[in-house]
Amino acid sequence: MKVKRYITKDVQEAMIKIKSELGRDAIILHTRKIKERGLKGFLKKPLVEVVAAVDSIEQNNAQPKYFVNSSPVKQNIIEKNKSSNVSSYDINNINKEIDSIKMMLSTVIDNMNKNSNTNNDGVLQKYEKCLMDKGVIKPVSDKILSIVRRQISISNENDSSIRNALKIILKDYLGNPYIISNNSRKQNVIIFVGPTGVGKTTTLAKLAAKQTIMNKRSVAFITADTYRIAAVDQLKTYSEILDVPLTVIYEPNEVKDAIEKYSDKDYIFIDTAGRNHRNKELLKEVTSILEYVESPEIFLLLSLTTSYKNIEDIIKSYQFLDDYSLIFTKADETSCFGNILNAKFITSKPISYLTTGQSVPDDIEIADIDKIVNMFVGD
Residue 51 has pLDDT above 90, yes or no: no
On whether both 334 and 285 belong to a single domain, the answer is: yes
In a domain, 124, yes or no: yes
Residue 70 has pLDDT above 50, yes or no: no
pLDDT in tens, 155-180: 655 677 788 888 999 999 999 999 99
Low-confidence winner among 90-94, 106-110, 346-350 (lowest mean pLDDT): 106-110
On whether both 300 and 329 belong to a single domain, the answer is: yes
Q: What is the 3-state secondary structure of the chain?
A: CEEEEEEECCHHHHHHHHHHHHCCCCEEEEEEEECCCHHHHHHCCCEEEEEEEECCCCECCECCCCCCCCCHHHHHHHHHHCCCCCCHHHHHHHHHHHHHHHHHHHHHHHHHHHHHHHHHHHHHHHHHHHHHHCCCCHHHHHHHHHHHHHHCCCCHHHHHHHHHHHHHHHHHHHCCCCCCCCCCCCCEEEEEECECCCCHHHHHHHHHHHHHHHCCCCEEEEECCCCCHHHHHHHHHHHHHHCCCEEECCCCCHHHHHHHHCCCCCEEEEECCCECCCCHHHHHHHHHHHCCCCCCEEEEEEECCCCHHHHHHHHHHCCCCCCCEEEEECHHHCCCCHHHHHHHHHHCCCEEEEECCCCCCCCEEECCHHHHHHHHHCC
Give the separation between CA 323 and CA 329, rounded to whole angstroms.
20
On whether both 155 and 226 belong to a single domain, the answer is: no
In a domain, 181, yes or no: no
| Residue 57: predicted pLDDT | 44
AA letter at 58: E
Domain's final residue, options 119, 146, 174: 174
Residue 111 has pLDDT above 70, yes or no: no
On whether both 162 and 224 belong to a single domain, the answer is: no
pLDDT in tens, 123-160: 688 888 989 999 999 999 999 988 888 777 666 556 77
Domain's final residue, options 174, 203, 221: 174
On whether both 203 and 158 belong to a single domain, the answer is: no
In a domain, 179, yes or no: no
On whether both 207 and 355 belong to a single domain, the answer is: yes
In a domain, 45, yes or no: yes
pLDDT in tens, 222-263: 998 766 667 788 889 999 999 999 999 988 899 999 999 999
CATH of the domain at 363: 3.40.50.300
If one counts the domains in the chain, the total is 2
| Residue 246: predicted pLDDT | 95
On whether both 200 and 170 belong to a single domain, the answer is: no
In a domain, 183, yes or no: no
On whether both 162 and 214 belong to a single domain, the answer is: no
On whether both 136 and 221 belong to a single domain, the answer is: no
Average pLDDT for the chain: 80
Mean pLDDT, rounded, for 275-291: 76
Mean pLDDT, rounded, for 313-330: 93
Q: Which of 71-75, 276-280, 313-317 has the highest mean pLDDT?
A: 313-317
Please choose, from the candidates 305, 229, 228, 238, the residue with its C-alpha nearest in 3D space to the C-alpha of residue 274: 228
188 bridge partner residues: 267
pTM above 0.75, yes or no: no
351 bridge partner residues: 326
pLDDT in tens, 327-377: 999 999 998 899 999 999 999 999 999 999 888 888 999 999 999 999 998
On whether both 70 and 156 belong to a single domain, the answer is: yes
AA letter at 23: G
Residue 206: which domain range? Answer: 188-377
| Residue 27: predicted pLDDT | 76
In a domain, 108, yes or no: yes
In a domain, 34, yes or no: yes
Mean pLDDT, rounded, for 100-111: 61
Let me know: does 219 contact 265? Beta carbons within 8 Å: yes
In a domain, 296, yes or no: yes
Residue 72 has pLDDT above 60, yes or no: no
On whether both 197 and 138 belong to a single domain, the answer is: no
Mean pLDDT, rounded, for 42-60: 68
Share of the chain above pLDDT 70, in %: 74
Q: In 10 A of CB 237, how many CB atoms?
A: 13
Mean pLDDT, rounded, for 189-214: 93
Domain's final residue, options 174, 203, 238: 174
8 bridge partner residues: 48
Give the separation between CA 24 and CA 14, rounded to whole angstroms.
13
On whether both 192 and 149 belong to a single domain, the answer is: no
Give the separation between CA 130 and CA 2, rounded to whole angstroms.
35
Give the separation between CA 35 and CA 180, rounded to whole angstroms.
48
